[in-house]
Amino acid sequence: MATEKNHSNSDKPQHGYDPVASQWKITRREWLRVSGFGMAGLIGKAAIGTANAGGPPAVILRFGLVTDSHYSDRASKGSRHYNESIQKMTECVELMNAQNVDFTVFCGDMIDKGAPDTAENVLANLQAIEATYAGFRGPRYHVLGNHDMDSLSKAQFLGSVERSGIEGDSGHHSFDSKGVHFVVLDACFTSDGTAYDSSNFHWTDANIPQQQLDWLEADLAATSKPVIVFIHQLLDGNGHHYVNNAPAVRKILEDNPRVLGVFQGHQHAGQYNHLGGIHYYTLRGMVEGSGEANSAYAIADVHENGDIAVTGYRRAISREMSLS
């Protein structure tokens, strides 16, 4: 069941942050049935101790989400206002700090082609938007997007951004926070397994190579914690915006009953799907539209019973994704 409401300007909260009140209520009874116990049993006694007796499930962690700022010094084109993303990111970071989220994740396409489109200029653009993102007072993570390699190599991009506690130059990795396991995937590979590098690809040719599939399967098998996944290109369907071998990735995720949800970027309009017992939330792109009112970012609250509540700000959509 889904209900949707849009706030008018007169309904706008203080400080200019406008959560959109569209919400979904989804169940995943399969996860509870297969695992044999609830989320609290997986995340340990510390989290159980935070539950409110007789009240709603406690929030065990909060993370911020932002994607597709496409920052560049180039002029606006169509609905994309590339050079306004610094201002939009500033507001986003201020909110994340005020809300005291545990960490933030950027879901890809932080930058776009430069004007002129030289590596030196694009690196300067990347440093500018990353410096703004760095205003968040907590751990920050990056998902690689196709436009991040329009003019740079993966090594150049990853060497210029902060990935808190993540070592090495791989675009995929995992980390734990407060009893939850988080996985970052990298679909920026061509169908023959070649890594994206300075426009040596077409944006519709996105793939997770076999080596990364093997890593994902092993990584999920090694954790007993509930799992949340981040990726840029979409996994919940077929078409230009989707990973070509998305069914193979979904099969690995669905085979592990602890996978709760996948957060994605890339498709700027945003969307939601529920497939194989897993939530797929695609955040709207920050670059679309002029002015802060046309920004998009969100905060996800993970509850001790496995529910995930997403609060969307500005144009982002709010969702309630429940296990029960």
Q: Residue 299: which residues within 8 A CB-CB, separation 6 or more?
A: 62, 63, 64, 65, 95, 96, 99, 101, 310, 311, 313
> Where are the extended beta strands (E) located within 266-307?
271-275, 278-282, 296-303
Tens digit of pLDDT for each residue in 72-106? 999 999 999 999 999 999 999 999 999 999 999 99
Please give the backbone phi and psi of residue 71, each rounded to the nearest 5 degrees, phi first.
-60, 135
The dihedral sign for the CA sequence 111, 114, 119, 123: negative
Residue 204, beta-bridge partner list: none
CA 64, chain centre distance (Å) = 8
What's the confidence (pLDDT) of residue 31? 32
Distances (CA, A) of 234 to 87, 99, 110, 245, 321: 27, 28, 17, 10, 18
Tokens for 321, please give them: 């994704």
In this structure, the number of other CB atoms found within 10 A of the CB of residue 308 comes to 21
Has residue 17 got a pLDDT over 70? no
CA 33 – CA 147 distance, rounded (Å): 41
Question: Which of 185, 187, 183 is CA-nearest to residue 243?
Answer: 187
Q: What's the token pair of residue 72?
A: 């560049």
SS (HEC) of 90-118: HHHHHHHHHHCCCEEEECCCCECCCCCCC
Q: Which of 140, 139, 141 is nearest to 172 (CA)?
A: 141
More confident of the two residues 92 and 9: 92
Domains and CATH numbers, the chain: 22-321 (3.60.21.10)
Q: 206-234: per-residue pLDDT in tens? A: 999 999 999 999 999 999 999 999 999 99
Whether 265 contacts 143, CB under 8 Å: yes
Give the 3-state secondary structure of residue 164.
coil
pLDDT bracket for residue 165 (50, 70, 90): confident
Q: Please give the distance of CA 310 from its chain centroid, rounded to a whole number.
A: 12
Please give the average per-residue pLDDT across 299-318, as a whole number. Answer: 96
- At 22-57, the pLDDT tens digits run 333 333 333 333 333 344 444 432 332 344 556 678
CB atoms within 10 A of CB 82: 22
User: Which secondary-structure segment (H or E) carries 153?
Assistant: none
Per the structure block, which two tokens stand in for 285?
A: 């792109």
Q: Give bridge partners of residue 85 from the DSSP assignment.
A: none
